[in-house]
Amino acid sequence: MKVLVTGGSGFLGLEICRRLTARGVATSSLGRRPSTALERLGVRQHLGDLADAHAVSRAVAGCDAVIHNAALAGVSGPSRLYWATNVLGTRNVVEQCRAHQVRALVHTSTASVVFRPGGLEGVTEDLPYPSRHLAAYPRTKAAAEALVLRAHSPELATVSLRPHVIWGPGDPHFAPALARAVRGGRLLMPGDGGNLVDTTHLRTAAHAHLLALDRLRQSPGIGGRAYFISQGDPRPLREIAHHFLRAAGIDARWCAVPPRLATAAAAVSDAGLRVVRSPRPLALSRFLVAELLHPHHFDLTAARRELSFEPPIGFEAGLAELARTAPPAFDDSENTPCPTPTTPSVPS
C-alpha cells in the first residue's frame, strides 16, 4: 500500500508517518518545506502548496490512500488565508483523489467545527455545525470537513476525525503557549478554570488515523461520517494547565481574569485585526476566550463502535512521558498576589 500524508512534517503528521513507515508502508508527504525528520524515516517528500492543484496531483498520483492532515490553524486572522489552505486545499485533495482513483481518504478535522458559546458537554457527532463560527479557523475546517464527507462514495471512501487539543512530546502549540503566558509565577486566564476539557495525546490521535484508514479499507460502509477523538478523560482546564506547566518545570498559579473583561478585550482585538487586516493567527480573539471559558468534551461511542477506538495511552502516563522528554524551561514563579488585569494573557 502507498499512502500520502499531507502535512507530514507537522506535529501530528510526523507521528502518523512514523507509524506508517514502522508498518512497512510506502509513505510520502506533501509539504511546503523539506524535513530532515521525514528524510530519516525514508518518507518521499513532495514540495508544494495545497492550493496548487498541480502540486497536489503530483503527490496523489500512484497512491492507494491519503491522510489529509495539513491545515492552517489559529484563533484569529483574515478568512482568506484559512480559506485558501483549509477549503480550497481540501477541495484539491478530494478532486485529485478522484482523478487518480484513490480508494480511501482520512481527513484530520477538529472538534472546534461544532464549538459554540456555552461549550460542548458530552456531545455526539449528530450535533450540527453552529449557524455562526467565532473565527475563520473553525469555519473553514467545518467547510473542509463537509467537502470530505460529501465526497464519500463507492469509489472513494472518506472519513473525518475530530481530535481536540493534541499534546505530547514535541508539542509546538498548546503547552508552549501556556508557558509563554506565565508572568511572575502567575498564569492569567479568563475565568476560574473549572470548565471540563478533554484533550488528545499525540499517540492517541495518530493511532485513530491508522485505525480509520484500516477500517475504511476493510469496511468502506463506515465512511461518510465524522468521529470525535480524544482521551475520554475530561478534566478542569486549570488542572490540565497546571500539569502541562509542571511537566515543563514551571510552577505557576492560576489567576482568574473576569470573563466579561476577557471577552470585551477579545472583541476589541478582533475588531482591530479586521481593520488592519492583520494575518496574525495567534492574537487574542473571542474564539479563544470562549474556548478557555467553556467546557468541551465529547461522547466517543461512535469511534469506539465503528473504529474500535480506544486511547493507547492514558492521561497520567502521557504526562509522565511529557515530563521525561520536555526541555527545561525557566521558572520565574514568585509568591505575589494576582494583579488587577487590563488585558488578559491567554495561550493560543
Mean pLDDT, rounded, of the chain: 89
Question: In this model, does residue 295 exceed pLDDT 80?
Answer: yes
Q: Which residue has the higher pLDDT, 9 or 343?
A: 9
What phi, psi does 274 have (nearest 5°)? -65, -40
- pLDDT at position 221, please? 87
Determine the straight-line distance between the first and last CA of the chain, rounded to whole angstroms: 37
Cα(119)–Cα(246) distance, integer angstroms: 27
Establish if 331 belongs to a structural domain: no
pLDDT tens, 185-218? 899 899 999 999 999 999 999 999 999 999 999 9
Pairing of strands 186-190, 182-183: antiparallel
pLDDT tens, 222-260? 999 999 999 999 999 999 999 999 988 899 999 888 888
Q: Which domain holds residue 127?
A: 2-171+199-234+296-315
Q: How large is the average pLDDT for residues 34-59?
A: 97
Cα(102)–Cα(94) distance, integer angstroms: 9
Establish if 268 belongs to a structural domain: no
Establish if 166 belongs to a structural domain: yes
Catalytic residues: 137
Establish if 261 belongs to a structural domain: no
Q: Confidence band (pLDDT; 50, 70, 90) for 273? A: low
Q: How many domains does the chain have?
A: 1
Establish if 74 belongs to a structural domain: yes
Q: Confidence band (pLDDT; 50, 70, 90) for 78? A: confident
Burial 165-178 (b: 16+ CB within 10 A, else e): bbbbbebeebbbbb
Place of cell 497520567: 316
Establish if 194 belongs to a structural domain: no
Q: How large is the average pLDDT for residues 157-174?
A: 94
CATH number at residue 80: 3.40.50.720
Q: Which residue has the higher pLDDT, 117 or 148?
A: 148
Establish if 159 belongs to a structural domain: yes
Establish if 345 belongs to a structural domain: no
